[in-house]
Structure 1
Amino acid sequence: MEVIPFRTPGLGDQTYLLTHEGKGVLVDPQRDIGRFLDAAAERDVDLRFVLETHLHNDYLSGAEQAALRTGAELVLPAASAAAYPHTPAFHLEDIPGTDGLTIRPIHTPGHTPEHTSYLVLIDGEPVAVFSGGSLLVTSAGRPDLLGPERAGTLARLQYGSLRRLAALPRDVGLYPTHGEGSFCGVSGAGRHTSTIGDELEGNALLGLPDAESFAGELLADPMPIPAFYAHMGPANVLGVPAPPEGDLREIGPEELPEELRGGVHVIDVRPRGEQAAGFVPGSTGIELGDDFGSWAGWLVPYGAPVALVAEPGQDVAEAVTQLSRIGMDDVRGVVRDLGDIGSARFDLVDLEGFLALTSGAQVLDVRMPVERRAAPLPGATERFLPDLVAEGVPAELDRDRRVLVACGSGRRASIAATILAREGYRAVVLNGSGAHDVAAALEA
């Protein structure tokens, strides 16, 4: 038996391909299924099952399309009530495979009500459990993604689910879907897989005495929920079509102003240094990186048409793939040369330059609340980056003065600079350092 992980860093998730005697089991595939099917083909593996642990909140599933493409049996939690053909997985009702492989569903509600983990047995011996968003490496899946009204109940259910999994043999491999970097988890450990034995020794949540204290721990300091999450679960219930194919249309810079007036949202994926030197007024600058799709889905109205601005030779296919994973399929084209329409600007400065400007300046901290509490920036106006879009620019900021913007590294601050520019502000971005560095320097 071999378990091959496919890490998607920007979403903090993993898909798995288990192979045994030439047969394959694909677990929690994201929408871009080509990479999984190619791996199976390279190993001459016949895909036998596609398993879904739950109706995902953070990405569109590729499970239905993978099953249709390969003829594999699609297995979903019985309570998912998905609106397309599948085999319902009931608690402890074994699903027989071939050559001694058996899949045993284990109902593990908490992250979602229908959540089901899958224990894999080879010749009757348990060897691996795919735990989705239930038991994670030194952590657990969030119980609050379906709203605060259900969070307490789901957290108490998660307590029982973790203990159900912890009762498995210690040498069983643990393969969760969510991990470090995912907004579906409570925390990150830097590792993506584990064993039941390692979790019994290293997962503090398993040491909590009862469901109430467990729920209190999970819900004590919840992270924000990305805006696009609200659209993922309903889409995964109804079924996700294959992503669109074809090359991206090249757009001339003279077309962009008209596109903006027509409701198209322009996303600039160039490095922040290029954006600072000149970007299209009204555009959102999100330099291309592992988490590009997540920020785009959080900051741009979901389902809105978008156009990309990229450098010549930049990999816009990666940007389109990341957008596709969350269902932002209406990408109208890409501009490779802005010409003279990139008239908006912001400044990038290092820590020393930022500190030199702080005396009497207006400073905006766009970090998450938990980051700000850990290292407060004295005197700063606080507004988490997505809230600049959802709630607007804080009223106390003066348009006639520069706004010094800080986050953890400069990535979010540079995005914020393009949002501020829409409202007539000129930003100075702390680049390569974070607000915590400023706070430490000011204390010193």
Structure 2
Amino acid sequence: MQIDVIETTGLGDRSYLVSDGGVGVVIDPQRDIDRVLALAGKRDARITLVCESHLHNDYVSGGLELARAVGAEYAVPAGDTVAFERTAVADGDVLAAGPMRLRVMHTPGHTHHHVSYVLADADGAVQAVFTGGSMLYGSTGRTDLVGPEHTDELTHAQYHSVRRLVDELPAGTPVFPSHGFGSFCAATPTSGDSSTVGEQAQVNPALTQDEQTFVDQLIAGLTAIPAWYSHMGPTNAAGPTPVDLSAPRRVEPAELADRLAAGEWVIDLRSRTAFAHGHLPGALNFELAIANFVTYVGWLVPWGSPITLIGETPEQVAAARRELVRIGIDRLAGAAIGSPEALATGRELASYQVSDFTGLAAAMAADPDLVVLDARRADERAGGGVRGSLHIPIHALADRLDDVPPGDVWVYCGSGYRASIAASLLARAGRRPVLVDGGYGDEHTGAAAAGLHAEPATV
């Protein structure tokens, strides 16, 4: 029996292909199913069963299209109301796929109807458990995505679901979650790339704390929900349309200039330093090479707004399109390909300064009234920030630009990625940003090393 991991780093998720005896089972597939089909071909496995642990909140599922494409049975939790034919599975059901058996366990918490799948071989020996958004590595799935009125109930349910997994499964059972590798579906940060039920019994908060402590700490630690999450559940319940990975319509320089002049969302995919050194005025920088690209495009761009990509190569644009369709951004206004100089057709490029925390410290010493913007989330800010800095999380900045005082604005975040988005938003608004390119918490080059870190009470 072979268990293959299909990693989607941009969303912090994993899908799985289990193959045995020429038969394949797929768990929680992403929307770009070509990856799954290619892997199944490599394993010489015919996919006969596709399983969903829940209606996902952080991506558009490829399960329905995959099942239809290969003629497989499609298993979805019975409690989820959907607009398509599927096998509705409930606690205790057993699904067969060749020599494999998958027992359904109702593990509510991440959602009301969430299930896990216990994999056994032909002899009934447990081989693995696929836990979706229930038991993660050193954490659990967040419990506030269904709605705030359900959070307390679901957090208690999550506690008991994780404990049930430990009570009913052998300690050596490998655990394969779908979330928790950078996904905002995790309630708290996860740890490690593999684990077993027995290992989780020693480290998972749901298994090392009493129920009320677990509930209180999980709820207190919940962070902001990415804006695009609200569209994923309804899309998955309705039945996603087949994925389209074709190249976006080519946008020529004259049309690109019009889109920029209209203030549309024109996204430059280059590195943040390359963008800072020269870009088309009005463009915004969402660096494709960083795993968080799709998260922050989905979070910041108003749903349904026209998006035009600027890529250096067709391959870069294709990679961005693949990332975006995973969260249902299917219809792009188009894409321009080439260097900023070529696309500018003689117009002057814009630029802004790039520095680091040492440079910020020197600038603050020279100008005590220097405007410094912290673009991190509230939970990060709670651990401290640059003294005297203004805190506006990146996902709120577009609506709060008027809250930023006039003058030069030095902007930082946890790594430099969100700061680059913030700097480009400020530049588009006619401000003069300085990008602090570096990690706030970096030991040797971060804020503390530059003497800038202040505790929350003094920030």
Q: Same fold (TM over 0.5)?
A: yes
Q: Which residue of 1 aligns with 2:43?
A: 43
Q: Which residue of 1 aligns with 2:73?
A: 73
- CA distance in 1: counterparts of 2:351 and 2:307, whole angstroms: 21
The answer to whether the 8 Å contact 2:269/2:310 transfers is yes
Q: Which residue of 1 aligns with 2:142?
A: 142
* Partner deviation per Cα, 1:357-405 (whole Å, 9 max, x = no partner): 123211001111222222322110001111102x31252x332x10010
In the alignment, residue 138 of structure 1 is paired with which amino acid?
G
Q: 1:434 to 1:209 in 2, by over 3 A?
A: closer
- CA distance in 2: counterparts of 1:174 and 1:184, whole angstroms: 17
The answer to whether the 8 Å contact 2:361/2:452 transfers is no
TM-score scaled by length of structure 2: 0.91
- Name the SS for the 2:207 alignment partner: helix
* Partner deviation per Cα, 1:22-62 (whole Å, 9 max, x = no partner): 11110000100101111001111010110000000000000
CA displacement at 1:247 relative to structure 2: 2.5
CA displacement at 1:250 relative to structure 2: 2.6
The answer to whether the 8 Å contact 1:365/1:384 transfers is yes
In the alignment, residue 392 of structure 1 is paired with which amino acid?
R
Q: 1:313 to 1:74 in 2, by over 3 A?
A: closer
Q: Which residue of 2 aligns with 1:408?
A: 414
- CA distance in 1: counterparts of 2:331 and 2:119, whole angstroms: 39
Q: Which residue of 2 aligns with 1:273?
A: 273
The answer to whether the 8 Å contact 1:141/1:186 transfers is yes
Q: List gaps (5 residues or longer) in structure 1.
A: none
The answer to whether the 8 Å contact 1:306/1:331 transfers is yes
Q: Which residue of 1 aligns with 2:383?
A: 374
- Name the SS for the 1:5 alignment partner: strand
Q: Does 1:169 align with 2:178?
A: no
- CA distance in 2: counterparts of 1:309 and 1:20, whole angstroms: 44
1:438 corresponds, among 416, 425, 447, to 447
Q: How does 1:41-120 map to 2 (within 5 A)?
A: 41-99=41-99, 101-120=100-119
- CA distance in 2: counterparts of 1:435 and 1:342, whole angstroms: 36
- CA distance in 2: counterparts of 1:262 and 1:218, whole angstroms: 43
- CA distance in 1: counterparts of 2:147 and 2:451, whole angstroms: 39
1:358 corresponds, among 348, 354, 364, to 364
- CA distance in 2: counterparts of 1:187 and 1:363, whole angstroms: 28
In the alignment, residue 39 of structure 2 is paired with which amino acid?
A
The answer to whether the 8 Å contact 1:110/1:161 transfers is yes
- Name the SS for the 1:180 alignment partner: coil
Q: List gaps (5 residues or longer) in structure 2.
A: 454-459
CA displacement at 1:411 relative to structure 2: 1.1
Q: 1:208 to 1:166 in 2, by over 3 A?
A: same
Q: 1:394 to 1:198 in 2, by over 3 A?
A: farther
* Partner deviation per Cα, 1:412-435 (whole Å, 9 max, x = no partner): 111101111232211001113427
Q: 1:178 to 1:264 in 2, by over 3 A?
A: same
Q: 1:407 to 1:38 in 2, by over 3 A?
A: same
The answer to whether the 8 Å contact 1:13/1:179 transfers is yes
- Name the SS for the 2:385 alignment partner: coil
- Name the SS for the 2:382 alignment partner: helix
The answer to whether the 8 Å contact 2:279/2:350 transfers is yes
Q: Which residue of 1 aligns with 2:186?
A: 185
Number of paired residues? 439
Q: Does 1:18 align with 2:18?
A: yes
* Partner deviation per Cα, 1:306-338 (whole Å, 9 max, x = no partner): 111122466211100001101111113222233
Q: Does 1:344 align with 2:350?
A: yes
- CA distance in 1: counterparts of 2:263 and 2:412, whole angstroms: 30
* Partner deviation per Cα, 1:158-182 (whole Å, 9 max, x = no partner): 1111111111111111100001311
The answer to whether the 8 Å contact 2:187/2:221 transfers is no
In the alignment, residue 375 of structure 1 is paired with which amino acid?
G
- CA distance in 1: counterparts of 2:410 and 2:264, whole angstroms: 29
Q: Does 1:423 align with 2:429?
A: yes
* Partner deviation per Cα, 1:224-282 (whole Å, 9 max, x = no partner): 11110000000000011112243233322221232346674211111112211233333
Q: 1:262 to 1:349 in 2, by over 3 A?
A: closer
- Name the SS for the 1:95 alignment partner: strand
- CA distance in 1: counterparts of 2:261 and 2:410, whole angstroms: 30
CA displacement at 1:440 relative to structure 2: 4.1
- CA distance in 2: counterparts of 1:350 and 1:441, whole angstroms: 9
Q: 1:317 to 1:252 in 2, by over 3 A?
A: same
Q: 1:175 to 1:377 in 2, by over 3 A?
A: same
Q: Which residue of 1 aligns with 2:457?
A: none
- CA distance in 2: counterparts of 1:323 and 1:342, whole angstroms: 30
CA displacement at 1:193 relative to structure 2: 2.8
The answer to whether the 8 Å contact 2:261/2:282 transfers is no
Q: 1:342 to 1:371 in 2, by over 3 A?
A: farther
The answer to whether the 8 Å contact 2:5/2:17 transfers is yes
Q: Which runs of 4+ in 1 moved over 6 A?
A: none
- CA distance in 1: counterparts of 2:63 and 2:181, whole angstroms: 23
- CA distance in 1: counterparts of 2:430 and 2:441, whole angstroms: 23
In the alignment, residue 344 of structure 1 is paired with which amino acid?
A
1:398 corresponds, among 405, 419, 430, to 405
Q: Which residue of 1 aligns with 2:230?
A: 230
In the alignment, residue 388 of structure 1 is paired with which amino acid?
L
The answer to whether the 8 Å contact 1:365/1:435 transfers is no
- CA distance in 1: counterparts of 2:266 and 2:347, whole angstroms: 13
Q: 1:51 to 1:312 in 2, by over 3 A?
A: closer
Q: Does 1:296 align with 2:297?
A: yes
- CA distance in 2: counterparts of 1:312 and 1:26, whole angstroms: 33
TM-score scaled by length of structure 1: 0.94
- Name the SS for the 1:149 alignment partner: helix
- Name the SS for the 2:450 alignment partner: helix
Q: 1:91 to 1:312 in 2, by over 3 A?
A: closer
2:392 corresponds, among 363, 367, 383, to 383
Q: How does 1:122-133 map to 2 (within 5 A)?
A: 122=121, 123-133=123-133
- CA distance in 1: counterparts of 2:244 and 2:176, whole angstroms: 30
The answer to whether the 8 Å contact 1:275/1:285 transfers is yes
